[in-house]
A and B are shown apart, each in its own frame.
Chain A
Amino acid sequence: DAKTTQPTSMDCAEGRAANLPCNHSTISGNEYVYWYRQIHSQGPQYIIHGLKNNETNEMASLIITEDRKSSTLILPHATLRDTAVYYCIAPENFVFGPGTRLSVLP
């Protein structure tokens, strides 16, 4: 399994873009990068995934570097409801690390 590393915590002002980085330097050529988030007492929620091209959906954008060793999840206009733990995983068996605790501040 590719190992991912993320900052433990981040703050973001409400209305601003939240940029969450993830390092996955050992990712193999056919492994996708997935992002999930978990709000307290709920199950993780799927956000987005990608292989090598940038991806965008109604929730977020995913920017993957050309060498695929890192990626950034972008929440374009963060709201208080985006406060959660964000997980970046590059799975074979979907191994979750500790993630990044994002706090969106009013």
Chain B
Amino acid sequence: KAGVTQTPRYLIKTRGQQVTLSCSPISGHRSVSWYQQTPGQGLQFLFEYFSETQRNKGNFPGRFSGRQFSNSRSEMNVSTLELGDSALYLCASSNGQGNSPLHFGNGTRLTVT
């Protein structure tokens, strides 16, 4: 099975711009979660989508949003970028049931200048 795929791998944006990141989950997985990882804050949960609905949400401002499509692929959008949004953004998929573990992609490295 192919793993979780995130595109693009690297991205450079300017303050004030917006960005869209993409995640393709493992085939058959219906849950997609997004995380932000920075050296200072570690791995922080952004949100989880299951069957096109946001099921859980972390403590991030409304500039961070996401969606999930009928094929379980997910996108994450960050609007009005700030320097502090520079981070590794990780996507993880699971079958969304019970004790199923998360499987992570290798992330998108976003740099805001």
Contact = CB atoms under 8 A, between A and B. Distances in A.
A96 B101 contact: no
A65 B42 CA distance: 28
Size range of the chain A interface in the assembly: 10 to 19
A34 B101 contact: yes
A19 B103 CA distance: 23
Nearest to B90: A43
A53 B4 CA distance: 29
A32 B102 CA distance: 13
Question: Dominant SS at the A interface?
Answer: loop
A33 to B, nearest CB: 10
Interface in B3-46: 4, 33, 35, 42-45
Interface string A63-96: 0000000000000000000000001000001111
A98 B38 CA distance: 11
B90 A97 contact: no
5 contacts: A42-B106, A43-B105, A44-B102, A95-B45, A99-B42
